[in-house]
Amino acid sequence: MSLLPDSTRGPEGENATEKLASRIRNTRKLLAGAALVGGIIAADFALEYPEKISSLVLVGAGLRGDPQPPDIKEAIAAYQAASRGAEAFVNVTMSSALYAAVRPGSSVYSRLRQMILDNFKARPTFVPGFWKYPQKTTYERLNDINKPTLVIIGSEDSQTLKNIANTLATKIPGASKVIIPGSSHHPPVEKSKEFTRVVLGFLSQKKEMTK
């Protein structure tokens, strides 16, 4: 199994899917794309290198070419916070709709806060155009994904990402969707036992189908 995190650092102009392909050798693996950027890269990877994976799990994923209008107010708040430094950016992010179900002061809150602090180091890679992606958007190519796919979304994640989860589950042939109750944007951290149960169930079902 290869788990792709929310951000991946690299030199400017690097192709994100090519970078991941260089890490995955000849073994066909389950590829899990976690959160906004991880989900975007994982879906593109499944389209560009289908021979390298056996199945796909998209968790709270973003979607290149998603037709929904962006939340301008939230984007401006994040941009302004980032200009003030890592702590300000983390405070704004943790109070956003993405983490509505995470209780401040909890161990999960602490883990996610540290994760976002670590990801802030990759801030230069967030600039539009830093990564090179296939010219055709993922949204336009979802019908071409030909691997068993599981879409996971937290019941308390943002409405935008819930809508994307519905799009992925509808447009990817044969895809299934599971909602993790009580989780917002990071089910593997917020509801780890339930997340593990769901993924193992998916793998078990896939194994039965290939017998």
> What confidence score (pLDDT) does residue 3 get?
44
Grouping H, G, I as helix, E, B as strand and the rest as coil, residue 122 is: coil
> What confidence score (pLDDT) does residue 209 get?
64
> What confidence score (pLDDT) does residue 16 get?
59
Q: How many CA atoms lie within 13 A of 54 on its CB side?
A: 13
Q: What are phi and psi of 57, to 5 degrees?
A: -125, 125
**Region of 31 on the Ramachandran plot (φ > 0 left; ψ -120 to 50 alpha; else beta):** beta
Q: How far is CA 119 from the centre of its chain?
A: 14
Q: How many CA atoms lie within 13 A of 76 on its CB side?
A: 3
Q: Which two tokens stand for residue 8?
A: 């991946």
In this prediction the pTM is 0.85
Each residue's pLDDT expressed in tens, for the chain with a length of 211 residues = 444 444 444 444 456 566 556 665 555 677 788 888 889 989 999 999 999 899 999 999 999 999 999 888 888 998 899 999 999 999 999 999 999 999 999 999 999 999 999 989 887 777 767 777 778 999 999 999 999 999 999 999 999 999 999 999 999 999 999 999 999 999 999 999 999 999 999 998 876 666 5
> Which contacts (CB < 8 Å, 24+ apart) does range 75-78 have?
none
> What confidence score (pLDDT) does residue 14 get?
53
> What confidence score (pLDDT) does residue 1 get?
41
> What confidence score (pLDDT) does residue 183 get?
97
With a CB cutoff of 8 Å and minimum separation 6, the contacts of 21 are 45, 48, 49, 52
Q: Is 124 exposed, middle or buried (0-12, 13-18, 19+ CB in 10 A)?
A: exposed
Q: How many CA atoms lie within 13 A of 18 on its CB side?
A: 9
193: number of Cβ within 10 Å: 7
